[in-house]
Structure 1
Amino acid sequence: MDAAYSIAEQDAGYILTENLQDTSMRAAYSVAGWKPKKDMHAQALEWWYWDWETAYSPEESGFLYGITGYNLTFYQWSDENNFVIDQRGFNAFIIGEANSFLKKNDPRLLLNTMVKSVAYTPQGVTVTFDNGGCIEAEHAIATFSVGVLQNDIVEFKPKLPRWKQEAIAQFQMGTYTKVFLQFNETFWDVDTQYFLYADENTRGYYPVWQSLSGPGFHEGSNIIFATVVGRESYRIEEQPDEVTKAECLAVLRAMFPDKHIPEPTAFMYPRWSTEEWAFGSYSNWPVGMTLEKHQNLRANVDRLWFAGEATSAQYYGFLQGAWFEGRDVAQRVAGLLNGPDKKVQCNNKTSIDCGTMLQYDVLHGTTFIDEFNIQNGWPVSSFLTYGYDE
């Protein structure tokens, strides 16, 4: 698997530099010599390599941008994923940022408020809520998830142009579900963080288990959790907890046949695919999506702007994607408010013109090398490797 992935990485670089047609990750793996077929152990390993990050299978994922997205994140910052155990919660940094400019009980922050419609014109934007209230502004930045945009939860007036709708419809919103079980003892090896399970019939059936009882996590907590994605996420998020719990216990008993596996003392998992403000966990780059078409996902419509992890061509699906895209659009809007001829700094190094972002009425089937630029949301070289620990 390592060898095949290395070959695929080199092939992706060749496609990028030579402006060749992209393909699926499955086709790329196959050409590189990786063909797991009915070998369920190999399928579990492949899930560990690919599905676990993207929340989609290799068949459903674009090759070139799947490789570049992974490399640009892990080669710049880290070669490992860490489970966040900060007891303040993952949103601690958001609260810290908000405290720098919002007052206590600031009326500008509207919590538990559902957006019903967004009306936009060349002169401004009006946002209407389901309680009848509204806000008018010169500009507005929409950070709805791709899942919300795809499910028509918010009405846009007028309807978004066809080039925008097509980009929204093609991009993918993945679902990633962690299923947590707590027991009265740790019956698994406390020094092992990950366990892989290969079901004999179904690929991706509770395939990865992670212990939180080990060093550096919640030592002595007796917590272990499984991760499922995609179709398996949709399946278990639609069924009762008791059914999912029974499935998990059956898998654990198959994994540890010489152990007595009791009923858990606590059990829970989220249901991101059913949340109307999310409809999923994070985005993925699909087969056939070019950089031009993704730019249509990013581009503003009059004074309505779009941001979020999905609008990041380089870091879609990751927290830093949402951070950089939000900052970029906010800087553009600030520049326009300060004067139409202003330039702003993007990613602290490149000046960009404020105003309408690039959008493509005519799309090409491939992406030219000179299109990998800041105007199309590609400020960092695809071939950087700093920060990667060999």
Structure 2
Amino acid sequence: MEIHDRSPFLPEGLEFVLSHEGEVSVSSIVQHTVCLFFSAHWCRPCRNFTPQLIQAYDELKQRGDYLEVIFISFDKDEACFLEHYKAMPWLALPFDEGLRRRICSQYKVDHIPALIPLDCNVKAIVADAVQLIEDYGVDAFPFTVERREKLKAIDEERKGCTLQALLVSDRVNHLYSNNGIQVPLSNLTGRTTGLYFAANWSPPCKYFTSQLVRVYDDLKVTNGDEFEVVLVSSDRDQCAFNQCKSTMPWLAIPFNSKSRHELFRIFNIKAIPALVFIGPKGEPYGTDGREMITCHGANAFPFTEERAVELGAAVEREKEGLADQVKDQKHKHLLKLDMRKAFICNGCRKEGRFWSFCCRICNFDLHPDCVMEENETKIKKEGRNEICIPATKSGIQEFHFTTTTFRAISNQSS
């Protein structure tokens, strides 16, 4: 492309940019697509992104597409700038904080890393191409809005494909068991499959993995060949991937498959752990797999939207017959009924879910069936007229209570 306005690169008459061989005249890059790369050595996201940009840059160069990147440093001094720049194969502006501030102001750059592709009039094609490179790599070129929308449309089409079709497109015809044995993709045919997005370095993943293992083992006993889980790892090296895989009884996509990255993008996974369920016919379910496992365990199978509605209705039925508030001997404050995804009961010290009689002031929780009646004389003295009588459990974690007046209870007992 021909650059008509050199002001972003040559403020105040600056005639050259830098390369590792020395100064380079701007006239030598007029036939290239130009991207401004804002980065710093102290910035971990910048250091993580730079290798991805280098890979795309090298691949574009090999296939003959013209791209030039110009590094603009956010480093604190020239020594840090040079340390960061030595790993980059492209050009750079001389280290100058004033120059950087003027260019950042022109392109409204308020974060790093940032990658600004420029058109022939030195205007930004998109606000920032970092996400495009992270999501699509070299396929994102030439980084236009039209290219981005086309790639998104392709992803939407692929989301409706079977997992086998998604993986075969990357020439993957097998998965790995936790002991390294190759398992044919055809083994997933007709099964509800959970895509488990996780990594060995993530403490939340390790915690959730233990929950998922229990559910997996239970479903393998009750549902056998109807259910499978496949690890989609975001580990950074083969060793970490192997460690992660070894802690799980299910299958895994090979570490060297680019499908791992594509599945993160196609299913819009922005945080781990995450769990996406795909039905026996290849249709992705719109449920939050992690939430369903955490709240309902194996009882959530087959993890469909319909099952999620059923479970939600069951939770609401648990509330029927429960008082809005109770007084219990084990705590000095009034306890109010509240929905809690998970808690530890201060009465029996066991884990609880959904309905709890709790004190927000003291972070105190009781299972509904752990609530005890107050002493009759104490109730009379305090003028309380509400009391709960525990009933037996029935159905799915249902605890039914009767709320009535003390006079009525006394009459029944007399």
Range into which the TM-score falls when normalised by the shorter chain: under 0.3
The structure in which a higher percent of residues are strand is 2
- Bigger relative contact order (CA 8 A; separation at least 6): 1
The structure in which a higher percent of residues are helix is 2
Normalised by the size of structure 1, how large is the TM-score? 0.18
Q: Which has the larger radius of gyration?
A: 2
